[in-house]
Structure 1
């Protein structure tokens, strides 16, 4: 299992809306995440600066990354774009983190 950690950036005035949208995650988006191998997925918010820390586990990073090509993922990104710092394709600007320690 591969562990993925990322930092993303949320606009400060939309914390509640971001949490609401994730608590109502579309069933088809949830299915696509699972179909692409995502498990143990959590997102944490630093309210002081709007920084999000996302953590998930996948059996295959390449397979997981293919989710970006699905229509539902593109639709989700467009839905979330007003709340976050994003790239021109609406994907969240994300900083990939390198794992330096894991306690078994």
Structure 2
């Protein structure tokens, strides 16, 4: 099992809406993530900068960011596009982060 972390940018004033949408995460999207080895997935918000920090465990070679070809992920990206910075295909602008320390 490996861990991956990345950051994304939330649009100003959208923190409450972003949290609400994730509190109501679609069951079929959650199942897709789990079926593809994604677990222990957390997203944190730096309220001063509107930067989202995500970390997830991966049982396999891919991350949640690699599921963009699926219909449900494309639908989720379109749903989230108004609250966060996105690419032309509605995928979130996501920057992978390098792990520099881990303590178990």
> Separation in 2 of the partners of 1:21 and 1:89?
20
> Separation in 2 of the partners of 1:96 and 1:71?
23
Aligned structure 1 segments of 4 or more residues deviating by more than 2 angstroms: 61-66
Secondary structure of the structure 1 residue equivalent to 2:52: strand
Task: Give the Å deviation of 1:29.
Answer: 0.6
Task: Give the Å deviation of 1:50.
Answer: 0.6
Match of residue 40 from structure 1: 40
Match of residue 2 from structure 2: 2
Superposition CA RMSD, Å: 1.3
Between Structure 1 and Structure 2, the one with more helix by share is: 1
Task: Give the Å deviation of 1:61.
Answer: 2.6
Task: Give the Å deviation of 1:67.
Answer: 1.6
Counterpart mapping for 1:86-97 below 5 A: 86-97=86-97
Question: Aligned pairs, how many?
Answer: 104
The gaps in structure 1 that reach 5 residues or longer are: none
Normalising by the residue count of structure 2, what TM-score does the alignment of the two structures yield? Answer: 0.94
Task: Give the Å deviation of 1:2.
Answer: 1.2
Task: Give the Å deviation of 1:65.
Answer: 5.0
> Separation in 2 of the partners of 1:25 and 1:4?
20
User: Is the 8 Å Cα contact of residues 37 and 64 (structure 1) preserved in structure 2?
Assistant: no
Task: Give the Å deviation of 1:21.
Answer: 0.2
The gaps in structure 2 that reach 5 residues or longer are: none
> Separation in 2 of the partners of 1:63 and 1:84?
19
> Separation in 1 of the partners of 2:19 and 2:51?
13
> Separation in 1 of the partners of 2:94 and 2:66?
16
